[in-house]
Amino acid sequence: MKPSGERSVGKADTLLQVRDTEAKASRIIEEADEKQKAILVAARREAIEKYQAAEAAIRKKTEAAISQEKASLAAQRSDSMRKGTEEAAKLMAKAKDRIPKAKTHIRNHFERTFDAATGTNE
């Protein structure tokens, strides 16, 4: 023993303490590496989940906008078809009114031409 009452530590004890300390340090480093890897995996997973959620939100918003535009275009098409049908009906009614007049006009023109050719109009 030393005069101060401390026990002298032998070389073998010192080497054991150094090995124990190195082993503890190695375990601490391994645990830190494992924690770091776990944190990275969790962060990557979270990033992927956020990306997928954002992508799904964008897809949903886009699909809603497309659906709204399709509905608007369908309404415009329906309105245009209705107006076109109404216009066609008006034109057909007008044509039906004009057909007898056109027939009479053509017949008169043909008769005048025929009369002029045959000389019966004199």
d(CA 122, CA 118): 10
Average pLDDT, integer, range 11-28: 94
120 backbone dihedrals φ, ψ, rounded to 5°: -85, -5
- pLDDT at position 56, please? 97
The per-residue pLDDT of the chain, averaged, comes to: 89
Percent of the chain past pLDDT 90, that is, above it, reads: 65
Average pLDDT in the 91-116 region?
Answer: 87
Res. 3: pLDDT tops 70: no
Distance set, CA 18 to CA 1, 13, 23, 28 (Å): 22, 9, 9, 15
Give pLDDT tens digits for 38-73. Answer: 999 999 999 999 999 999 999 999 999 999 999 999
Distance from C-alpha of 103 to C-alpha of 17, rounded to nearest angstrom: 125
Answer whether 106's CB lies under 8 Å from 113's CB. Answer: no
